[in-house]
């Protein structure tokens, strides 16, 4: 794991997630939180600041006096709109990954978003963890695909997954072929991004084993919801074997699982409308 | 993962819990990334009327459930809706060529969460009761599938990680 972390640290072409991402999402979920603090947190990420300013000054929202600072933009957009923008922005970063798994940007984005929504719903349903933390972990769970696309050639991953001899769990195949899998690569990348350790753990264990930390098993369940519906499904298909135990461990019933699938699909459709990405396929 | 089309073909994408019907000859309908869901095609070779349904779950818990979620979400409501819409357009049950793909499974032994298996069972039950025979099928396993139907002649193709194959052709 240390060797993998070192290899990922040496990559210079990886997109960056601000270390203030988690506090920013938490602030946006807190109606008592001041707009100044939110503005300062957004300002730590130049790319996000630019998007927020562009949105605040778009034809839809522009006034005679343009928003010239991030705080002014925050005041104009409001927390609900800002949260959508922030989540879409970071999900798009994660969606840069997955080429080796045969995923285009839209499919990767959909998989990330579906996992986030499902994780937050499971957390709310079970009360086992904070929904916003589970949302973030679900959103970022496959970020290791981004790291592996850069560490290896995506073609190498594609060749492995397309092979007729490639039977068994996709995680085991990756580990056997490359010495590590995308969950482990994700944990290492999350460390590089200085994300909280509980998120690194959940990302690293989103395909098992069970971890008694409240978050990891929920993220495994969220992954089961997303892949069952085919959201973010690539060449790895449904070749994962840890989901049943995770669903049982958090107390999800068959009816819960089906309801989660339907509600997650509905949320994905709404998000696609907001982002003008067409409709989920 | 989209199948190759010629410039004059109309490419329609059918989303999850969605259904589309049309008339040939220049229409290709495709549904992507079938996981546990099932993609079902119908085609009448005389009228060139065809359709594609992508349903997600076997059955709603109650009637309200299917009203809220839409008929194409479930096998028990989506399959009759696909056939009925086909008949309205002029298709005949006796001539219909029916194909199905999908119903993949996560690698777990817990049957409670095996949506693919339950989707498949429900589809077979519906077809057995109504005397419908599948002309082609590719269901189960762990691979994602993309399913398409070409309404010019009813050819049904599937694409998986192993490549493209023809499920039915005239």
Tens of pLDDT, residue by residue over B112-152, are: 788 999 999 999 999 999 999 999 999 999 999 999 999 99
Please check the confidence at residue B165 and state whether its pLDDT lies above 70.
yes
Which domains does chain B show, CATH number per domain? 10-168 (3.30.1330.200)
B residues 30-89 closer than 8 Å to A (CB): 31-37, 56-57, 61, 69, 73
pLDDT tens digits along A104-133: 888 888 899 899 999 999 999 999 999 888
Look at residue A257 in the predicted model and tell me its pLDDT. 94
Look at residue A273 in the predicted model and tell me its pLDDT. 55
Choose the closest CB to A230 out of B37, B69, B162.
B37
Q: Please, which contacts does B2-9 make with residues 24 or more away whose CB atoms are closer than 8 Å? A: B2/B30, B2/B32, B2/B146, B2/B148, B3/B28, B3/B30, B3/B146, B3/B148, B3/B157, B3/B159, B3/B164, B9/B150
ipTM value of the model? 0.89
Q: Which residues of chain A have a pLDDT value below 50?
A: 276-281
Look at residue B112 in the predicted model and tell me its pLDDT. 78
A contact test, residue of B33, B34, B145 with most A CBs within 10 A: B33
Look at residue A278 in the predicted model and tell me its pLDDT. 46
Task: Dihedral sign for Cα A128, A132, A133, A138, please.
Answer: positive
Look at residue B1 in the predicted model and tell me its pLDDT. 45
User: Contacts of residue A169 in chain B, CB cutoff 8 Å?
Assistant: 107
Look at residue A34 in the predicted model and tell me its pLDDT. 86
Three-class SS of chain B: CCCCCCCCCEEEECCCCEEEEEECCCEEEEEEEECCCEEEEEEECCCCEEEEEEECECCCCCHHHHHHHCHHHEHHHHHHHHHHHHHHHCCCHHHCEEEEEECCCCCCCCHHHCHHHHHHHHHHHHHHHHCCCEEEEEECCCCCEEEEEECCCCEEEEEECCEEEEEECC
Give backbone dihedrals phi and psi of A268, rounded to 5 degrees, phi first.
-65, -40
Look at residue B27 in the predicted model and tell me its pLDDT. 93
Contact B45, B25 (CB under 8 A): no
Look at residue B6 in the predicted model and tell me its pLDDT. 63
DSSP label at A13? S
Look at residue A1 in the predicted model and tell me its pLDDT. 74
Test A239 with B115 for CB contact under 8 angstroms. no
Look at residue B62 in the predicted model and tell me its pLDDT. 77
Test B161 with A227 for CB contact under 8 angstroms. no
Look at residue B81 in the predicted model and tell me its pLDDT. 97
pLDDT tens digits along B44-91: 999 999 999 999 999 998 776 767 788 999 999 999 999 999 999 999
Beta pairing partners, B150: B28, B155
Which domains does chain A show, CATH number per domain? 18-94 (no CATH), 97-281 (1.10.3210.10)
Look at residue B2 in the predicted model and tell me its pLDDT. 47
Look at residue A105 in the predicted model and tell me its pLDDT. 84
Cα B80 to Cα B85: distance, rounded to the nearest angstrom: 8
- Residue in B with minimal Cα distance to A262: B69
Look at residue A229 in the predicted model and tell me its pLDDT. 92
- Total residue count of chain B as it appears in this document: 170
pLDDT band at B5, cuts 50/70/90?
A: low
């Amino acid at each position: 794991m240390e060797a993998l972390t070192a290899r990922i640290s040496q990559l210079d072409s990886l997109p960056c997630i601000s270390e203030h991402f988690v506090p920013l999402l938490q602030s946006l979920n807190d109606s008592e939180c001041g707009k100044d603090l939110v503005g300062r947190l957004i300002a730590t990420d130049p790319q996000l600041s630019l998007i927020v300013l562009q949105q605040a000054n778009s034809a839809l929202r522009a006034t005679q006096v343009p928003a010239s600072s991030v705080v002014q933009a925050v005041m104009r957009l409001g927390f609900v709109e800002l949260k959508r923008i922030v989540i879409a922005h970071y999900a798009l970063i994660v969606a840069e990954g997955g080429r080796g798994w045969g995923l285009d940007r839209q499919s990767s984005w959909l998989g990330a978003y579906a996992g986030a929504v499902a994780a937050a719903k499971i957390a709310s349903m079970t009360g086992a963890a904070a929904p916003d933390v589970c949302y973030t972990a679900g959103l970022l769970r496959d970020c290791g695909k981004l790291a592996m696309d850069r560490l290896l050639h995506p073609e190498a991953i594609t060749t492995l997954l397309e092979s007729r001899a490639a039977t068994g769990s996709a995680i085991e195949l990756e580990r056997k072929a490359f010495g590590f899998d995308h969950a482990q690569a994700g944990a290492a990348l999350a460390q590089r991004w200085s994300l909280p350790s509980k998120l690194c753990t959940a990302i690293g264990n989103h395909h098992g084993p069970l971890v008694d930390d409240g978050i990891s098993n929920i993220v495994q369940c969220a992954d089961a919801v997303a892949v069952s519906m085919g959201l973010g499904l690539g060449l790895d298909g449904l070749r994962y074997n840890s989901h049943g135990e995770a669903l049982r461990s958090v107390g999800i019933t068959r009816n819960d699982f089906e309801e989660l699938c339907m509600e997650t699909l509905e949320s994905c459709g709404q998000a696609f409308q907001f982002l003008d990405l067409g409709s989920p396929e | 993962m989209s199948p190759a089309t010629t410039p004059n073909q109309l490419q329609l994408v059918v989303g999850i819990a969605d259904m589309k019907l049309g008339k040939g000859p220049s229409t290709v309908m495709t549904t992507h990334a079938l996981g546990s869901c099932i993609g079902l095609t119908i085609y009448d070779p005389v009228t060139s009327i065809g359709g594609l349904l992508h349903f997600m779950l076997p059955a709603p818990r109650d009637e309200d459930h299917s009203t809220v979620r839409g008929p194409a979400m479930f096998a028990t409501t989506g399959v009759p809706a696909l056939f009925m819409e086909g008949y309205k357009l002029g298709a005949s049950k006796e001539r219909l060529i029916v194909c199905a793909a999908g119903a993949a499974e996560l690698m777990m032994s817990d049957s409670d969460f095996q949506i693919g298996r339950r989707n498949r069972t429900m589809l077979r039950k519906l077809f057995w009761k109504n005397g419908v025979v599948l002309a082609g099928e590719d269901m189960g396993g762990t691979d994602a599938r993309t399913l398409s139907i070409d309404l010019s002649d009813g050819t049904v193709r599937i694409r998986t990680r192993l490549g493209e194959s023809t499920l039915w052709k005239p």
